[in-house]
Amino acid sequence: MNLPAIERLVDSHLAAYCDADAARRASAIRAAWNADGSLVDPPLAARGHQGISDQAATLLSQFPQHRFERSTAVDAHHDFLRYGWRLVNADGAAVLEGVDVAELDVDGKLLRVVGFFGAQPAAV
């Protein structure tokens, strides 16, 4: 597993997800994602390149001038990875933070990404 390549993949995915240019976003999603990939977070779920791009457009309409950035290193084993992220506004302030858990396909593209918002709940 080539961790620098995986980190570039994750960073490309996060950048594409907040790219307001629809054609550039679609191209970046095709490069990073399996054609049947699925992206699920608490309020939304998407499948396939177009579905993921549409989900990104929905997010952009709610959070214009915001961007995702990775907030942790990527932790990976086998075909799975996890990383922290934050959604920041134009001033660089985080408005939302979370963790994604992802699965890669045999070609090293994103197959599944499941997002969780906020910090992990405390143990009871």
Write down the pTM of the prediction: 0.92
In a domain, 78, yes or no: yes
In a domain, 32, yes or no: yes
Domain range for 41 is 3-117
In a domain, 68, yes or no: yes
Determine the Cα–Cα distance for residues 51 and 38; give it in Å rounded to an integer.
Answer: 9
pLDDT of residue 38: 98
pLDDT tens-place string over residues 86-121: 999 999 999 999 999 999 999 999 999 999 999 888
- Element (H or E) spanning 15, and its range? helix 3-17
pLDDT tens-place string over residues 13-47: 999 999 999 999 999 999 999 999 999 999 899 99
CATH of the domain at 63: 3.10.450.50
> b/e per residue, 89-100, with b = 16+ CB within 10 A?
eeeeeeeeebbb
pLDDT of residue 122: 84
Domain count, the chain: 1
In this predicted structure, the answer to whether residue 123 has a pLDDT above a threshold of 90 is no
In a domain, 124, yes or no: no
pLDDT of residue 6: 96
At residue 108, the 3 state secondary structure works out as: coil
